Amino acid sequence: MQKSILKLETSSNASSYRTIFKTRHGRTLFLSLSVNGPICTITDCFYTDRSQGRTGAARYSSKPKKLRTLQFPAENLLAVIEAELDKKFYGVEFVETEQTNLSPDKYIDFRASSSNRKYRFLIMVGDGGNYHGLPMRLRTRLKTKLHRSVYVELAYYKDGKGVARQCCYYDRQYKRHGIKITPPTLISCFFPYTREGVLNLLNHEICCDFTHIIVTDGIDVDANTTPLCGAV
């Protein structure tokens, strides 16, 4: 098995570093830190796979709850990451790039666009009329990157907006006694009713990573609870 190396990006003659990595539980994490002599300081740290549909400071509000040690000897960096950020690295590599001078928004977008991602298709069953190429009602069963099975029902509302009519976990029913539980990160009731709007809603608010939408009318979503797409 290939051992993970922490790649810290910096510009020449700088003491500030940035990186984005996936934790052992599939969360995507942004980390920035500074090194002043033997002391390392974490200056920012937040998940990028949730809250990115928000604006302003709320976009960076999803912080790792276990992170408590913000300043420590530089030699302890990997130990702190393993203990508090859910990722084990076996070494550190320093990489000089021009992207470290970008704002956090542009840096995250650059890393996302430049990564070698495979196509990941969101399969949705549509019915009803049509609005700008999308059926008026869209449904699916998917599995998030956190391996939770979710039923999703979206519909066109008005003025170019869609509404999340239903979004709930349907695994672990034996613990919930049939109660429908909505993912707590889903905060947008309304969204632009476009393919991009649907992808942004599901990717940013219920932890998915779809790149394209396939709409079909030949699947009975109610007859089989097996997820149609996602981390299956």
How does pLDDT run across 30-60, given as a tens digit for each residue?
A: 999 999 999 999 999 999 887 666 666 777 8
Q: Which residue range(s) make up the domain with 223?
A: 121-230
Q: What's the whole-number average pLDDT of the chain? A: 87
Q: Say if residue 78 is in the same domain as residue 130.
A: no
CA distances to 48, 150, 205 from 112, in Å: 10, 24, 17
Q: Say if residue 211 is in the same domain as residue 151.
A: yes
197 occurs within a structural domain? yes
Question: What's the rounded Cα separation, in Å, for the pair 199 and 163?
Answer: 14
Alpha helices per DSSP H over 44-158: 77-84, 104-114
Burial of 92 per CB tally in 10 Å (0-12, 13-18, 19+) = middle
Question: What's the rounded Cα separation, in Å, for the pair 88 and 86?
Answer: 7
- Two tokens at 156? 């066109």
pLDDT at 1: 47
Q: In total, how many domains does the chain have?
A: 2
Q: Say if residue 104 is in the same domain as residue 126.
A: no
Q: By C-alpha distance, which of 42, 41, 33, 49 is closest to 94?
A: 33
Per-residue pLDDT tens digits for 95-154: 887 776 778 888 887 777 665 456 789 999 999 999 988 999 999 999 998 889 999 999
Q: Say if residue 174 is in the same domain as residue 199.
A: yes
Domain boundary among the residues 114, 135, 170 is at 114
Per-residue pLDDT tens digits for 57-93: 777 888 999 999 999 999 999 999 999 999 999 999 8
Domain boundary among the residues 66, 85, 114 is at 114
